[in-house]
Each structure stands twice: as structure tokens, then as C-alpha cells.
Amino acid sequence: MPSRNRKEATSNFVDYVKINCRSGEGGAGSAHLRREKYVAKGGPDGGDGGRGGHIILRGNRQMWTLLPLKYRKHLIAKGGGNGSKQRATGANGDDVIVDVPLGTVVRNAETQEEILEITEEGKKAILLPGGRGGLGNWHFKTPTNQTPRHAQEGEVGKDEWFILELKVLADVGLVGFPNAGKSTLLSAVSAARPEIANYAFTTITPNLGIVSYRDHRSFVMADIPGIIEGASDGKGLGLRFLRHIERNSSLLFMVPADSDDVAKEYEILLGELEKFNPELLDKKRLLAISKADMLDEELMSEISADLGDLEHIFFSSVSGYNIPALKDAIWKSIEG
């Protein structure tokens, strides 16, 4: 049975939230007229209102889930301060700054239009701008109206619903059916420790690992939950995790050596990706045949013959067979 820790990890990984945002309204301009003891008819000196607070998203590479926003459905910024005498501008409303994981895409909840995406550490993007502050009365002084007694009201803040969707960022994404050995490979080549067991969908959240390479170089590998035939139609974990593959620079297709037909299984995986998004086939890809410690040279030759000119490599995460060569092939795919 799945462990309690596995259930907790699942509930903590949130890659889709719908939130309501309300930016602050702008402060009103002042209609103050200057009145001092020794200054007759001092004229207008009302200051401008401050702008309302923005709703801002900021990229944070330390985050891996949208969980904080699951329990914070409403983001509300404060309004700007009103202008005052001596042309003093009102204070701007406090911005609401929300950290999100890299790879977060924002869509308008009503139109589904993509508005922005966060892919860089520390990058800030204004999701909803605050209202502009109103102009003070000194802006409206004219030769024929030396003492305007009116000023602008502040601009009303905006109120909208947005969908935030997380797409995992990695250099290489592992693509395969459940139990293809993706989690075992990730744990063998990185410090990541995904749950590994002999039942389908052991991995139910994407796991990321940093893989060390030659000359102090490294790349990020993503273990993406197993695909099943029909995933592009929503079966299994379906569309929920297929979208994570969109952000990977290259794809490592994994088929176990004990598969009934390695070539057919690879074609099924390829077909699911093509139905979900044909552009995924433009990515660099490599076929890796796992559990190769179960094969002798004769069986490897037979499988290679079935695959024809398709680029592939045999390896074993358990014995370490061909792991260095696999890293070389992945690096070549990424750099290529």
C-alpha cells in the first residue's frame, strides 16, 4: 500500500490553481487652495493621489509547487493615498508580491488567453496593475481659471480571475510507461530520492534531480509520471502531467528490456505525445532501454535490429552498466 509520506507528498504537489486578484484603487487628487498669512490668493496646490498597489508574481527557484496559492484564493492590494496640500503626492498602495515556481504560466480564467510566464529566478511580472492616482487641482490651472476647485478621483482597481499552471522546467525529461525504471535512473544519477516500488504510478508527482557531468558541468533531469496508452485523451494521469514534458529541452524515452516489443512501446509513447502536442516531436529525443542487465549480447543485437536506424542505448541503473555513456548521449542531446 502507498505510504503515508507518499500521500503527503502528493497533496503537497499542486500544479494548477485558480485565484482572484484585486489591485488597489488610485488615491484621489487634492483640490486644496494655498492659504498662508502673507500670501494672498495663493492659488491651487493640491497634490496627486498615489497609485494603487499592484499584484506581482516573482520567480523563485526554491519553490516546486503552487500549494501556497491553493489556500490563498484572493489576493488584494491596498489603495493609494490621497494627495494633499503643497503638491504633496499620496503614498502608493502596498504591492502584493507572490513567489511562484519557475515554469509558472498564467492564463485569463475567462478567455483562457496566456498572459505571462515566469521562467527566471527573481523575475517580477505585474499580473494586475493598480489604479492610477488622480491629478491634483494645480494641474488644471489655466489663464482663465486661476483657482480650479476640482481634482481627479483615483482610477478604480481591477478585479479578475486567473489560472496559474505549473510546467516543470528541466534539461531532459524522462518519458515512459509506469515501471519503466525512470525513478530508479534518477536516484542512480542524482541526489534525488523518488519513491520506487513495483506498482504502477509509483511516481505521481514530477521529481527533479541535478545530474553531475564531466568538468564540473551538470544538467537537470525530470522524472515525469508514467504515461499510459490513451493519456492524451485524459486516461490515467493523462493531461495533468503531459504538459510538464512541454518545458523540457530534450526527451529521454525509456522502455524496459523485458518489454514484449520495445519498438512498438516506443511508437505508442511517441504517438501519445504527438496527439497531445505535435510540437513535442521537434525536441531532441533519445531512446534508452533500461534493465539491460537482464540481456545478453545476442538479445541486445536482436532488439537493435528491430529498432533499425533509431538512436538508442542500453543501460542498467542497478548494475551501473553504460550509465557514463548514457550521460554522454543525454549531454550531446541537450547541447545539440
Q: What is the pLDDT of residues 79-116, one digit of tens each?
A: 999 999 989 999 999 999 999 988 899 999 999 999 99
Average pLDDT over residues 196-212: 59
Whether the predicted pLDDT of 194 surpasses 50: no
Whether the predicted pLDDT of 232 surpasses 70: no
- Between CA 260 and CA 303 the distance in angstroms is 11
Whether the predicted pLDDT of 6 surpasses 80: no
Query: Which residues touch 305 (CB under 8 Å, ≥6 apart)?
Result: none
- Between CA 33 and CA 219 the distance in angstroms is 65
Which pTM does this prediction carry?
Answer: 0.68
Torsion angle of C-alpha atoms 183, 184, 186, 187, degrees rounded to 10 = 120
Please give the full DSSP string across 28-52, using - where no structure is assigned: PPP--B--BTTBTT--B-PPPPPPP
Whether the predicted pLDDT of 157 surpasses 90: yes
Average pLDDT over residues 177-197: 70
CATH superfamily of domain region 170-335:
P-loop containing nucleotide triphosphate hydrolases (3.40.50.300)
Average pLDDT over residues 240-258: 80
The 10s digit of each residue's pLDDT in 30-54 is 999 887 766 666 789 999 999 999 9
Please, what CATH class does the domain formed by 13-166 belong to? mainly beta
Cβ atoms 157, 207 nearer than 8 A: no
Q: Which residues pair with 123 in a beta bridge?
A: none
Place of cell 499584484: 55
pLDDT at 333: 87
pLDDT at 3: 44
pLDDT at 287: 94
Average pLDDT over residues 238-243: 57
Highest mean pLDDT among 95-99, 170-174, 235-239: 95-99
What residue ranges do the domains of the chain occupy?
A: 13-166, 170-335
Cβ atoms 265, 253 nearer than 8 A: no
Whether the predicted pLDDT of 234 surpasses 80: no
- Between CA 222 and CA 46 the distance in angstroms is 58
